[in-house]
Amino acid sequence: MTEAARHPLIIGSGIAGLYVGLRCRELGLRPTIVTKARLEESNTRYAQGGIAAAVGPGDSPAFHLADTVEAGVGLVDLNAARVLTSEAPARIADLVRYGVPFDTTEGQVALGREAAHGRSRILHAGGDATGLSIEEALRHRVLEAGIEVRERTVLRALRRDGRDGPVATLAGADGGSVEVFSSGPVVLATGGAGSLYRQSSNPAIATGEGVAIAFRAGALVTDMEFVQFHPTVFWREGAPRYLITEALRGEGAVLRNDAGERFMTKVHRDAELAPRDVVARAIDREILRTAHPCVYLDATALPRDRLFARFPSICHFLSAYGLDPSRDPIPVTPAAHYMIGGVTSDLDGRSTLRGLYTCGEVASTGVHGANRLASNSLLEGLVFGERVARQLLHPVPGGPPEPALVVDVKVAPGAGRGEETRLAREIRDLLWNDVGIVRTASGLRSALDEFGRLGRAAEPASPDQYAGPLANAVVTATLIARAALARTESRGCHYRSDYPRSKPSWRRHIGLRCGNAPAA
């Protein structure tokens, strides 16, 4: 191993980035963590539902595997899911070692139930503050370990001509100085793209830039059509779209329309605990049918003390709007939540570019198939983060196989003179209206035409210039729409009203490659 290879550059500071950094340091490497906001600002911080692992009595990794495969609707990579579920208990033990205070009952870890899980296997910390608890524990350990951290620093580009990995171009998040960083391997842990949608549960930093930058460099991306919409996000005009965790439905809360009627019992045998895509589409239909802007999550049958003890963050948030969930139904709508696809990755985090590794939501391992099982996302960052760290210590050549269907998508030069606020709003509206919960060929083609126009306004005029956040947002949005147009069926969280059924011939992945990426 060269000296440069001992200094991996980790982009992102959610659960995946922080965990990879910690494990690299423990294994004797000297990582640098780069994050475009504060160290603690990531999607992980806002994860309420918990983290899944078969650690309770009567449960097993085999049961967890079966639930993961079933939720993925025929598209889960079995090897990836087996790795995820079998290695989960050991990674939970790591979190305990790092100081994550998981909730207990009478000395035993408390395990909750969420949709599409056949067992109670969801661990929580601080009730509905699991992500915050994990982020804070890992952040504290990263700082304690003396790992180099560069806050408010963004990845601007990757080039494939480095000896030990891609050459990364970094810049200050405020538009400050540009720096070329070529220390060795690069780990993308940049998270998802939910905030590109008009309605989203994600923080503003979740813009999918990691996918766009890797794609521009020539990395294959896969499964971009699968964007998961969380069914229950707080709705009120002018209020933030605050996630109302699925665990509340796991405790017994039910969904009602504006007339007070339950409707999920007519949709699925598991009613409110049906898979997320089923619940999100049912809510969307009910909103359209009733012309009412939301539905209501009714937890009023649950004991008040249990609600406030189990969901303190939600109760505190709702109180600011004069709502008490023990007496008031909660207004909710679906919102973009999780990017299932991303940079194509094998089981050790290797992408199709030598020296570029991916981990967490930005990676596409096939573990989620067409619909992520609730609370597998935090787990994914840990399980594959461990494998990335070990691969960095003892690198072995290899990478993911190429899917049977690969579509070339070109990024054309532009003028670089787009008005940023207006164009960003157009991207969000186009994705929500035409590449959202329900899709059609005409809507997807229209969105792609518009993204082409936006790209011409946002892309730099010269390939020597670095693409900015807006240009990368257009690329990521284009990849989602292009894959959605190619998949002429409905499967999991990808739903085409013009192709409403799943087809056996579509039990395959769609890869996307940059048709004009620079050669190595």
pLDDT tens for each residue of 6-35: 889 999 999 999 999 999 999 999 999 999
- Which amino acid would we find at residue 457? A
Helix axes 78-86, 377-393, angle to 10 degrees: 90
Over residues 139-146, the mean pLDDT reads 96
Class level of CATH domain 4-189+346-393: alpha beta
Indicate the DSSP class of residue 272.
G
* Cα–Cα distance for residue pair 459/450, rounded to 1 Å: 14
Domain ranges for the chain, please list them: 4-189+346-393, 194-227+409-514, 231-334
Q: Which residues are catalytic?
A: 276
Predicted confidence (pLDDT) at residue 519 exceeds the cutoff of 80: no
194-227+409-514 belongs to CATH 1.20.58.100 = yes
> What does the pLDDT read at residue 520?
59
Over residues 134-141, the mean pLDDT reads 95
Over residues 259-271, the mean pLDDT reads 95
* Cα–Cα distance for residue pair 402/117, rounded to 1 Å: 31
Higher pLDDT, 515 or 3: 515
In DSSP terms, which residues pair with 256 in a beta bridge? 262, 296
Over residues 105-125, the pLDDT tens digits come to 888 899 988 878 999 999 999
In DSSP terms, which residues pair with 492 in a beta bridge? none
Fold of 231-334: Flavocytochrome C3; Chain A, domain 1 (3.90.700)
> What does the pLDDT read at residue 144?
96
Over residues 484-507, the pLDDT tens digits come to 999 999 999 999 999 999 999 999
Beta strand pairing call for 9-11 and 186-188: parallel
Closest CA to 426 of 407, 404, 450: 450
Residue 354 CB neighbour total at 10 angstroms: 18
Over residues 28-86, the pLDDT tens digits come to 999 999 999 888 888 788 777 799 999 999 999 999 999 999 999 999 999 999 999 99
Predicted confidence (pLDDT) at residue 464 exceeds the cutoff of 80: no
Domain 194-227+409-514 and domain 231-334 have a common topology: no
Name the percent of the chain in helix, strand, coil, to the closest 5.
35, 20, 45
Higher pLDDT, 440 or 159: 440
